[in-house]
Chain A
Amino acid sequence: MRRGAMGMVLLGTIGSSIIKVAFFAALAAAFFYFRSFRNQSDKALFYARNCYHLSTLSLIAASSVFLYLILTHQFQFTYVWEYSSTDLSLPLLVSTFYAGQEGSLTLWALYTSFIGIFLMFYTSRREYESATMSVYSSILAFLLLMLVVKNPFALIWDSFPADLVKSGPIPNGLPNVVMLDAARGVWAQFPNQGKGLNPLLQNYWMVIHPQILFTGFSAMAVPYTLAVAAMMKRDYNSWIRIATPWAVFGSMVLGTGIILGGYWAYETLGWGGFWGWDPVENSSLIPWLLCVASIHSALNQRKTGGFVRTNIVFSLLTFVTVLYSTFLTRSGVLGDTSVHSFVDPGMWVYWLLLGCLGLFAGIGFGLFAFRVREMPKAPVKHSYFSREFALFLGAFALSFVALFVVIGTSSPIITSILKGKASAVEIIYYVRTNLPLGIVICFLSGLGQLLWWRQSHAGPLLRSLAVPVALSLLITAAVYSVLGSEEVLILLFIFCAAFSLVVNAKIGYSIFAGNPKFVGGSIAHVGIALMCLGFVTSSRYDTKATLALERGKPAESMGYRLTYLGYKELDSERYAFNVEVHHGGVTKIVAPIMRFNSQDNSTIRHPDVINFISRDFYVSPVTVETGTKEAVVSHTLARGKPLKIGDLTVTFSQFKFTDEQRAAMSEGKEFFITAELQIQKGTSSDRLELRVKNGPAGAEFIPSAYTAKDGKQYEFAMTKTMPSQEDPSQSAVAVDVKLPHDPAAHQKEDTLVIEASIKPMINLVWAGTVTLIIGFVLTIMRRVEEARRQGERPRPPE
């Protein structure tokens, strides 16, 4: 019996109990916060804060236990067995914490509770704490409820009772055994190794990307709670200043997470690009778009006092779409319409997710319906040529992008209702719907900066447009002449992105000269414009070629000379294929990697990239054909049906299972099953017997050599016996046949097949990302300061 195995089980039981404590504490916090809001009761506030702290501390404790079990390889726990193994490096082992549903939910809840601590402190100084935190604690409680239902500490023998739970005497020396019921002699065995982390996830991106993404997801709850709190307090104006820094923070973190995910897909997963419009990617893009729309629309309200209802709706939608996306990607509704496999988590989680979505959408929009009539309406004072209107249109266009992405991602649901069969939309759907909107958004993000609030005059506006338009035309013409012709819409998109870039750079420069603190918005727009330009050049002007490279033989393609040099074994499964790339006097080596899993015969391909300043040279391995290997073919032979294999005609005639062997089998001794084959070539006919040895060590298939009349050597081996008890004439046998050496094939060298592509100016995407993040940081600093100036009050006494 493994020492301490039972102690760990106890620790896990404690862990799942602490999660329940955290859940009830969060529920109590929501309740007391609500009472404190209704009755202005300091006592309720005191209880509420302590309940919230208790919930957070319990969640930290439960997460620590969970992490400890992972780090010490406690395979008594289903989750630990399912996602980790003893051979992972420490950072990857830590990352298995959130490799599966239960763990990633735990991480999400944990970060939500952390952000809540800051939110509590922040809102307490603005008389917003009780209302805000009552909603926020309910969100935390709901996340924790999912963990109560889908327990991360499930024990493996509860998950697989048929395989692991046994009764009777425990065989001597059996490792990893725990006694479940000593009185009745019931015990269970548990694994000493885990299934391990999905090889696709085994790299450093797995360590950072989910962390950032879940921080962003958690932050998306804040604008929602503040909007609900504003409606509870009937305070429709000051909340927007309180909420803006959080919305900007959430967009920054989630945006960073999204782009890192894109970089991961591009650089390691070999999707060929950084964006595949996959449900998992879309599910984080949708709330991000709405949050960005809300930031823009919020500017309007701060300036004019109008757009109250629009802003509340945007803030509500930001979190409601987080919940909707979570429902899509975690409930199993998408089935297998995507490259991600969505494990069906069971009915409970499905209804909980749906309930969570319904509840929070209901609270937000229900309250909105009640309060909408009393919300202040500012008289419209602006003209169509005003910054207000540009911001309004921009926010609207962004939410339309979000709407189309929602519809596209929900396609399996929509089509299964309409047509009865779920199918996903093709990627072209997203391009066609979003390209016109992208043009509008880019144009407005430039034009809006040139417009005045309320009313712009045609003369000065036209004068300020002249230089940017001329420069953008120049840039468009340059792209057109270097990269060649494309569709009109694409050129228009390039023009508008260039326009936004030029205008924002110019405005940003003059703002910077005046007050550097206010430059964040312009910088963020410059970043977006750079990214848009990079998207188009790298994914619409890319060139691709599929090449078969014979070892040592240079091949020319797309102006590059490629030579396959040979492969290097990295470990028992992974091979790096070295390809020399020669271009313009520079020689570099790319080494894409393929991973062959012998257990399930799968191949995983990792690309490799050479980054030049003006483009990426991207190489994905496709397959490798080894010329020297003997050809082996696999066939299934049905009884009495001749099949052509090489030059031979092979018929499986019968299984031979003598009484002697039958007796050996019933005594538990080693026994043989023999399959008899009839082999014909021309007029000659032979018999060949294939044998399989069955013993305590399992089945061993013994190969049999066969020499044909022309001297050619074959080797036959059974791989599976498929006897039919009811009707012996339906029996079949699977065989592997090693074909004779073909001297012509023997001399041929290995051939590596690759897909190479050139992605022009992809560095613009990464440069734009960094610029965007800088812009976000500056904006957060500005808005935090503004929220602080807007009357901070001392924290009420506890």
Chain B
Amino acid sequence: MRLFSQELVNGITMGALYALIALGFSMVYGVLKLLNFAHGDLYMVGAFVGYFVIQWFGGPLALSIPVPLLLVIMFVLAAVLVGGLGVAIERFAYRPLRNAPRIAPLITAIGISFFLENAALLLFGSQFRVYNTSDFISFSSGIQIGSVNIDSVQIMVLVLGLGLMVGLRLLVIRTKLGKQMRAVATDREAAEMLGINVNFTIAATFFLGSALAGVAGVMSGLLFNQVTNTIGFIAGLKAFTAAVVGGIGSLPGAMLGGLLLGIAESFITGYVSSTYTNLFVFGLLIVVMLVRPRGLLGRVQLQKV
């Protein structure tokens, strides 16, 4: 029972991280039908922003501001800067190709991914940058339920992750921008004819998706400490998997896919073997694709002829 509970907590924490990144993937796919492979690298940039905020305020052992304020600044700055970067990428790399064959923006996305990775290498070097979270947030400041330890960073990741997911869901369902996003995702030309500013809506979608990736990057730095220019690739791949399992284009699907992926990884590691984690996880992906080719919450789209 102890192992079950601990793995559940670990899995949900990891899943929340995957889900946040997967949401951006799914949002962009929803409005542009573009697999934005640079999305994982935006997560990497977010992790670097968090790292430099810590250094800016004196480093983990000599912070000049209270920790809660530091965390707020880290998350807000990462969201704004990475969101802005996402908008810039959309404006200068994807928008000119909006009417090009689908392969063109796909290749551009891969190019942007390499560009970001190598730009980070050039700017920040190849060395590991370390958050050293335990130097300013104690492990003992969490809670213990039975024999399960949940430290304060995990609690923060869970609360913030789930809060952002709920917030995004409300934004998409209840706000004018959300309606515009759904309209553009359904039929871009019709939305334009109805007076919706498509360029603004797509830019807003990129901003939101990228901002979530930036926040996830800071969460990753706080949880796993390490930041390098290469961390985005695997994270992006896992988030893409989560988005596909949940049903790419579906926001609840991305959340579900992320959580399922995190929990599956955790339980397979705990109860089977870490050796076979990827085998089982990607086996699960294949099974889901065979049974529901559009993902767990994906919808069949009618093809107009």
Are A and B part of the same complex?
no
